[in-house]
Amino acid sequence: MFGAVGYWWAVPVVGRRFSCYDEVDGKAAAMSVDDPETTLVANGRVMQTKAPDEVKGENGEERPPAPERRRSSIRPLILFAGLIVLTSLLYGLMARGPGPLTEGPAPDFTLSLFEGGQLSLNDLHGQVLVVNFWASWCPPCRTEAPIYQSVWESYRERGVTFVGVNYQDTEPPAQAFIEEFGITYPNGAEERGRISDAYGVQGVPETFIISPEGEIAEVFIGSPTEAQLTAALDELLAAATEE
- pTM to 2 decimals? 0.65
In a domain, 202, yes or no: yes
Domain boundary among 65, 96, 127: 96
In a domain, 190, yes or no: yes
| % residues pLDDT > 90 (the chain) | 56
Q: What is the mean pLDDT of residues 176-197?
A: 96
pLDDT of residue 168: 95
Which one has a higher pLDDT value, 171 or 91? Answer: 171
Name the band, by pLDDT with cuts 50, 70 and 90, for residue 184: very high
* Structural domain boundaries, residue 175: 110-242
Residues of 6-25 as b/e, b for ≥16 C-beta within 10 angstroms?
ebbebebeeeebbbbbbeee
* Residue 195 sits in the same domain as residue 114: yes
pLDDT of residue 62: 58
Give 102-106 contacts, CB < 8 A, sequence gap 24+.
102/1, 102/2, 102/216, 102/219, 103/215, 103/216, 104/215, 104/216, 105/214, 105/215, 105/216, 106/131, 106/199, 106/208, 106/210, 106/214, 106/215, 106/216
In a domain, 104, yes or no: no
* Residue 23 sits in the same domain as residue 73: yes
Q: Is residue 4 a contact partner of residue 222, using CB atoms and an 8 Å limit?
A: yes
Domain boundary among 36, 68, 96: 96
* Residue 135 sits in the same domain as residue 228: yes
* Residue 146 sits in the same domain as residue 238: yes
* Residue 54 sits in the same domain as residue 170: no
Measure the CA–CA gap between 32 and 42, rounded to whole angstroms.
6
pLDDT of residue 57: 52
In a domain, 27, yes or no: yes
pLDDT of residue 150: 98
Q: What is the mean pLDDT of residues 151-162?
A: 97
* Residue 16 sits in the same domain as residue 75: yes
Centre a 10 Å sphere on the Cβ of residue 103 and count the other Cβ atoms it contains: 12
Number of domains composing the chain: 2
- The yes-or-no verdict on residue 80 having pLDDT over 80 is no
pLDDT of residue 242: 79
pLDDT of residue 44: 39
Domain boundary among 69, 96, 123: 96
In a domain, 4, yes or no: no
pLDDT of residue 37: 38
pLDDT of residue 45: 39
Average pLDDT value over all residues in the chain: 77
Name the band, by pLDDT with cuts 50, 70 and 90, for residue 56: low
Residues 82-124: pLDDT tens digits? Answer: 677 565 444 444 444 568 889 999 999 999 999 999 999 999 9
Starting at the edge strand found earlier in the chain, the sheet holding 128-134 runs 2-4, 216-221, 206-210, 128-134, 160-166, 187-189
* Residue 226 sits in the same domain as residue 187: yes
pLDDT of residue 29: 34
* Residue 85 sits in the same domain as residue 136: no
* Residue 131 sits in the same domain as residue 234: yes
pLDDT of residue 89: 46
- The yes-or-no verdict on residue 235 having pLDDT over 80 is yes
**CATH code, domain carrying 175:** 3.40.30.10
